[in-house]
Amino acid sequence: MPATTLLRLATAGSVDDGKSTLIGRLLYDSKAVFLDQLDAVERTSRARGDEQTDLALLTDGLRAEREQGITIDVAHRYFATPARTFIIADTPGHIQYTRNMVTGASTADVALILVDARTGVIEQTRRHAFLASLLGVSHLVLCVNKMDLVDWSGERFAEIREEFTGFAAKLDVRDLAFIPISALLGDNVVHRGANMPWYEGTPLLHHLEQVHIASDRNLIDARLPVQYVTRSHAKDFRGYAGTVAGGVFKPGDEVLVLPSGLSTTVAAIWGPGGKPVAQAFPPQAVTLQLADHLDISRGDLICRPANRPQAGRDLDAMVCWFAEDARLTPGSRYLLQHTTRTVPAEIRGLDYRLDVNTLHRDESAESLSLNEIGRVRVHTRKPLFFDPYRRLRATGSFLLIEESTGATVGAGMITGPSLPDTQVVWHATAVGRGERATRGATVWLTGLSGSGKSTVAVELERRLVAEGRPAYLLDGDNLRHGLNADLGFSAADRAENVRRVGEVARLFADAGVVAVVSLISPYRADRERARAVHEAAGLPFLEVFVDTPLEICEARDPKGMYAKARAGEIRGFTGVDDPYEAPEQPALVLRPQDGDPAAMARTILGLLDEIG
């Protein structure tokens, strides 16, 4: 037996369309239905008084489904031919089961939609086609069934094909095929049959065996969400395990890790069980070893430096709502599960609700209820690293989870980052803060010379930028050489230095940037003035006290200043012959025992995330 590939197929439709008969025939003709299963189905059919054996009983596995004669849940069926292995996600067709169709289509390569040749394209057909397109299923097969009941008419088939083609033009469907069949008699299911000589295409099964799905994967955008850190002390091994979401990774590739923004190279790639992998591509489950020891944990994302996902906390998404007893409304909060990250999120707005039958957008809708689909604006507590769903399913999809019950209440497909509300009237001379894409703030790091302020500030700025937030470091160096070049080190000049930095930080923050200030700023009154100008402007001001004991700072003495001060070569040096006034109510105090600069930067980031 040669190695075969796997095709995931979603089928939608109701018993009336002959869907169960079709699946039954596919399974039976490909020898995937077993005799004892068929016996059981025949017994149940007889007991229920059915005239014919109901092949739907093969897939309807739950008692309630058999008793009510309906399909409630997605059923998975398996069959194989010498060319391919198939997983069928069989979903019920009625509108009240939209969530099941969405579930089945989420992993499908091909969606199979049935049409009754007598009735042609109906509302349900359009809904199924739309959902398949929304979920990014690239290949659509429209099976025109019951051709035996329209005298095997080629004209009727052409009419239906034309009508559906017109509708499909509005959808994002890359590959559309039409097959006239009779599931009951078997024509064009597995074998051609003799009744439709005018049909020049292939039978359904042959089509499913041949449809080219390898190119559906995104092999451009290399993305590996870190799922698990594999460590073995005995073997001195540390690797990052995950499932390749997109693109190709090779040993030797330069990679970038988000959110840290640090770069390194891939040292080795291992498949399950330690099989060396020369090229890792989706959906392989691999373990990456990196050349440098970086601080990487679950939820981080490995990509290429020149091809990064979008980063941000505000995104637009199409959401399908699943909850029976709760509605999605603006202002509601959920957990959002995206790749290997789960973060708190808030629904900031509902742009419209979509009528899945007519594709009409209802912009006056105020909520989504069970099985409804709409476009929402989501704000997350921590940044996500994402691609539009259209481009990459794995980094563009998410679940919404109700925190108290743990229930999965919605599924989302990211369309892109949220832009500021375009409804706001735009004045050339006055852009309001709400119209800016990002919200600014000032982080003011104060402490002795050598306390480590600058190291933390540099790390913080780098992480913010990696997360997609504009940030800018303001420190003694970049200001003293420019804006403050006219200032010396007299008490008055120092106070003026702090005042100017405070004002510049306020302007940056107002422009939507996170200003990261690293300044000894020893006097309480000077810092309070900086705080006051921020508060007056309604901008967040986080005073962070880097509280490193003098002995440690002096031992570090990075610029040799303490030595000079002790030798009397410089005067008025903070901590030696000039006082440092510690903050009375800082937003945060960082002490050496709080970890390395990277950990400290993460703590500050957490604080920034909390304020919005």
Partner 1 sequence: MSQHEKSTASSYELSHSDTLEAESAHIFREVAATFERPVLLFSGGKDSVVMLHLAAKAFWPAPPPFPVLHIDTGHNFDEVIEFRDRTAERLGLRLIVARVQDDIDAGRVVEETGPRASRNRLQTTTLLRAIREGGYDAVFGGARRDEEKARAKERVFSFRDADGQWDPRAQRPELWNLYNGRHRRGEHIRVFPLSNWTELDIWTYIAAEGIDLPPLYYAHRRPVVRRDGMLLAHTRFLTTDAGEEPFEATVRFRTVGDATCTGCVESTAVTPEQVVAEVAATRVTERGATRADDRISEAGMEDRKREGYF
User: For partner 1, which stretch binds (CB under 8 A), given 202-210, 235-243, 529-537, 587-595?
Assistant: 235-243
Q: How far is the CB of 409 from partner 1 (least distance, A)?
A: 9
Question: Out of 335, 354, 356, 504, which residue is the one contacting partner 1 (CB under 8 A)?
Answer: 335
- Interface of this chain with partner 1, residues 364 to 383, rule: CB under 8 A: none
Enclosing H/E stretch for 107: none
Q: How far is the CB of 335 from partner 1 (least distance, A)?
A: 8
- Residue 115: C-alpha distances to residues 46, 88, 134, 195, 218 (Å): 28, 18, 20, 19, 31
Q: How far is the CB of 107 from partner 1 (least distance, A)?
A: 6
Q: How far is the CB of 67 from partner 1 (least distance, A)?
A: 10
Quickly count: other Cβ atoms within 10 Å of residue 155's Cβ: 10
User: For partner 1, which stretch binds (CB under 8 A), given 55-63, 148-156, 359-367, 427-435?
Assistant: 55-63
- Interface of this chain with partner 1, residues 99 to 128, rule: CB under 8 A: 99-100, 102-103, 106-107
Nearer to partner 1 by Cβ, of 159 and 209: the residue is 209
Q: How far is the CB of 323 from partner 1 (least distance, A)?
A: 10
Tokens of 471: 């940030």
Per DSSP bridges, beta strands 397-401 and 408-417 are antiparallel
Q: DSSP 3-state helix, strand, coil percentages of the chain (rounded to 5)?
A: 30, 30, 40
20, 449, 451, 521: the active-site residue: 521
**N-terminal to C-terminal alpha carbon distance within the chain:** 58
* Residue whose C-alpha is closest to residue 313's, from 387, 383, 362: 383
- Interface of this chain with partner 1, residues 239 to 298, rule: CB under 8 A: 241-243, 248, 270, 272-275, 277-279, 281, 283-285, 287, 298
Which residue reads 């919005």 in tokens?
612
Size, binding site for partner 1 by CB under 8 A: 83
* Residue whose C-alpha is closest to residue 6's, from 74, 75, 73, 88: 88
Nearer to partner 1 by Cβ, of 2 and 538: the residue is 2
What is the distance of C-alpha 161 from the center of its chain?
Answer: 36
Nearer to partner 1 by Cβ, of 56 and 142: the residue is 56
Nearer to partner 1 by Cβ, of 302 and 504: the residue is 302
Nearer to partner 1 by Cβ, of 298 and 564: the residue is 298
In our burial notation (b when 16+ CB lie closer than 10 A, e otherwise), range 282-321 reads: bebebbbebeeeeebebbbbbbbeeebbbbbbbbbbbbbb
- Interface of this chain with partner 1, residues 516 to 545, rule: CB under 8 A: none
- Interface of this chain with partner 1, residues 389 to 428, rule: CB under 8 A: 393-394, 397-399, 401, 403, 406-408, 411
Q: Is 49 in the site for partner 1 (CB under 8 A)?
A: no
From the number of C-beta atoms within 10 Å of its C-beta (0-12, 13-18, 19+), residue 229 rates as middle
Nearer to partner 1 by Cβ, of 15 and 219: the residue is 219
Question: Out of 97, 157, 249, 322, which residue is the one contacting partner 1 (CB under 8 A)?
Answer: 322
Nearer to partner 1 by Cβ, of 217 and 506: the residue is 217
Q: How far is the CB of 78 from partner 1 (least distance, A)?
A: 5
Q: Is 80 in the site for partner 1 (CB under 8 A)?
A: yes
- Establish whether 133 is a catalytic residue: no
Tokens of 456: 């933390």
Q: How far is the CB of 277 from partner 1 (least distance, A)?
A: 8
- Interface of this chain with partner 1, residues 17 to 36, rule: CB under 8 A: 31, 34-36
Edge-first strand listing for the sheet containing 139-145: 75-80, 84-92, 5-13, 110-116, 139-145, 175-180
Nearer to partner 1 by Cβ, of 85 and 490: the residue is 85
| Pair 318, 415: CB distance under 8 Å | yes
Task: Give just the sign of the alpha carbon dihedral 512, 516, 519, 520.
Answer: positive
Q: How many CA atoms, within 13 angstroms, populate the side-chain half-sphere of residue 151? A: 3
User: For partner 1, which stretch binds (CB under 8 A), given 123-131, 154-162, 228-236, 503-511?
Assistant: 228-236
Q: Is 74 in the site for partner 1 (CB under 8 A)?
A: yes
Biggest CA pair distance of the chain: 107
- Give the active site residues: 521
